[in-house]
Amino acid sequence: METTSKKLDDGRLEITVSLTADEVQEEIDTAYKQVGKNRIPGFRPGKAPRKILENHFGGKEYFLATASDELVRIYTPLAPDELYLVPLSSPDFAELDLAREGEPFSFSFSIEVAPELELSSYEPLQIELPSVEPTDEEMQAQIDVLLAYNTTTDEEGNEQKPELTDAWVKETLEFENVDDFKERVADSLREQKGRDIPQLREIRSTQELASRLVGEVPDSLIRQTEQDNYRDFFQSLQQQRTTMDAYLETYGYSSEDFRGIMHEQARQSAAMALALDALARHLELVATEEDILEEFANSGAKDPQTLYENWRSNGRLSEIRQGIARMKAYQHILDTVEVFEPGMLHPVTEDEPVPDTKEKKASAKATTKSSAKTSKKASAKASKDASAKASTKESTKTPVKADDTKTGTKKSSAKTSRKADDTKKSTSSPSKSAKVDSKKRKVQS
């Protein structure tokens, strides 16, 4: 088989498959052999001469058409795979001729593939991340939540909010004094932020990479990604033994909200995937045969070699190659990203207006209201089979509310009471940048 391709005016790719006379003859012989297994009057199965078979099934053209159909069926998925392409659409065939004995055979079809977009810059990424140390605002927010939780109402209906004193924390929370209590709150916030910041680092890194993408993400890629996300989402619901209605009620979404979130998540994932592809091409990061075999060896399949052969014969190895290349690009950005404290990457000078924080947060929330691990999902989709996934760290299957303009921490509890676990209802607050000097200062990434 020889495969060539050319780009069409509409952006699709036309692929032409050329087969040798021997490859054609082999399939024609197979067509006669398969049909010959049928019972023909006067002959044992498989023993009827070709002329008898042709007379019985309407002529030689029947067998040539059968062989032609089979050649197209076998080689159509193999052709894009040989060109290292992952189609975004079903093939659209040009007019097909019949294969002929003793002659080569060729056919053409067009498919849509992801565009090879570029990045505006291939320099190392720069992002801002909050410090693991809690800010005064975060501390106060936790304290306010706890005090509110312990607010009582007197006989006249007036709320009585407790004062944070040594006596109150000792009597109510069994701490030695206020300082002891505050240190426990700080420890809780450090622990929570320590867990969340690495994930936030990954999210912001891939989002920053995607922001460098030059060009439009094709709607077909967004639709395909969205379909994959829906499939994964409903599989997750089944595994959790819950329903769509229960999920919507838990997160406070309407059906319209949910569809919007899923679409935005798909758009972000598709953009991140194309950005990773661009970086992989720029750095010449490719999947070797050893990489591919290792993926199958680590797949957990009982017979990895048979699984590999199955994927190869079905023209799906390019999905694995694509995922591995994205994984390598993803790891590269995590290894090279430069991390700064809030306000240090783009410090505001006296001559610059202070940005509208509320507007900035609202805008960021609109783009990050999808899954907190959307960036990981974008890194792969190499294997759509659970037994052989060549992807980067895969995504959370269900979209959740996430606002990384906060501290990078999720809703968390300051474990401040030794008496009752229900004080864990407290929630960490939005972070405001700590006061720092005006010089740009890099922190260890």
- Helix count (H) and strand count (E) of the chain? 14, 10
In this prediction, residues 44-58 reach a mean pLDDT of 79
The predicted pLDDT at position 389 comes to 41
Choose the weakest-confidence range: 73-82, 211-220, 346-355, 416-425. Answer: 416-425
CA 170 to chain CA mean position, Å: 49
CATH 3.40.50.300 holds for 2-113: no
Give the pLDDT band of residue 383 (cuts 50, 70, 90). Answer: very low
Cβ–Cβ < 8 Å for 200, 129: yes
Cβ–Cβ < 8 Å for 220, 89: yes
Over 90: is that where the pLDDT of 68 sits?
Answer: yes
Tell me the C-alpha to C-alpha distance, in Å, between residue 112 and each of 10, 90, 91, 351: 10, 8, 8, 50
Over 50: is that where the pLDDT of 361 sits?
Answer: no
Over 70: is that where the pLDDT of 78 sits?
Answer: yes
Residue-wise pLDDT tens digits, 193-209: 999 999 999 999 999 99
Q: Which amino acid is at 431?
A: S
Dist CA 339 CA 132 (whole Å): 13
311 Cβ contact partners less than 8 Å away, ≥ 6 residues apart: 296, 317, 320, 385, 388
Cβ–Cβ < 8 Å for 379, 276: yes
Q: Which range among 155-164, 173-182, 379-388 has the greatest average pLDDT?
A: 173-182
The predicted pLDDT at position 423 comes to 31
Q: Which amino acid is at 165?
A: T
158 Cβ contact partners less than 8 Å away, ≥ 6 residues apart: none
Over 90: is that where the pLDDT of 374 sits?
Answer: no
Dist CA 291 CA 298 (whole Å): 11
Q: Which residue has the higher pLDDT, 239 or 435?
A: 239
In this prediction, residues 399-403 reach a mean pLDDT of 36
Cβ–Cβ < 8 Å for 391, 379: yes
Q: Which residue has the higher pLDDT, 435 or 9?
A: 9
Element (H, E) at 309: helix 304-313
Give the pLDDT band of residue 342 (cuts 50, 70, 90). Answer: confident
Q: Quote the percentage of the chain above a pLDDT of 70.
A: 78
DSSP assignment of 117-161 equals -EES--SPPEEE---SSPPHHHHHHHHHHHHHHT-EE-TTS-EEP
In this prediction, residues 410-435 reach a mean pLDDT of 31
Closest CA to 34 of 73, 61, 66: 66
Over 60: is that where the pLDDT of 396 sits?
Answer: no
Over 90: is that where the pLDDT of 140 sits?
Answer: yes
The predicted pLDDT at position 348 comes to 52
DSSP assignment of 377-438 equals HHT----SSTT----SSPPPSS-----TTS-S--S------SS-GGGGG--PPPP-PPP--S
Sign of CA dihedral 139, 145, 146, 147: positive
Mean of the per-residue pLDDT values for the chain? 79
Residue-wise pLDDT tens digits, 236-274: 999 999 999 999 999 999 999 999 999 999 999 999 999
Q: Where do you find CATH 3.30.70.1050 in the chain?
A: 2-113
Structure tokens at 169: 């924390």
Residue-wise pLDDT tens digits, 310-341: 999 999 999 999 999 999 999 999 999 999 98
